[in-house]
Amino acid sequence: MTLQEIIKSLDDLSVEDKTSLLNVLESQLSKIKEQVEEKPLQNKGDSFWQGVLRFRETIEREGIEFTDEDFANLRDRSPGREIDL
């Protein structure tokens, strides 16, 4: 049964059945929201660390090597915003 067929079949339900279905869906939705809100807080450090590990694996797999020359002129040596007095 497709989602469209399910939605069309809702018209045949009684008001009590629709109310009961709505309560069940609201309950399920609140559980899902709680899980989604908790996960980023719990896994924020883990997902960062996993990203670092994936980056390192890619660098190793592709044989990319960094040298001091790669970073030689990257730094902005100015003290900040330039001010003309």
Tell me the average pLDDT across 59-69.
88
Distance CA(62)–CA(24), nearest Å, equals 51
Portion of the chain with pLDDT greater than 70, in percent: 91
What was the pLDDT predicted at 22? 92
- Is residue 24 very low, low, confident or very high in pLDDT (cuts 50, 70, 90)? very high
| Whole-model pTM over 0.85 | no
What was the pLDDT predicted at 27? 92
In the predicted model, what is the mean pLDDT of the chain? 84
- Each domain of the chain, given as residue ranges in start order, spans 15-84
The number of residues making up the chain comes to 85
Report the range of poorest mean pLDDT among 11-20, 24-33, 39-48: 39-48
Encode burial over 32-62: b for 16+ CB neighbours within 10 A, e otherwise.
eeeeeeeeeeeeeeeeeeeeeeeeeeeeeee
3-state helix vs strand vs coil in the chain, percent to 5:
75, 0, 25
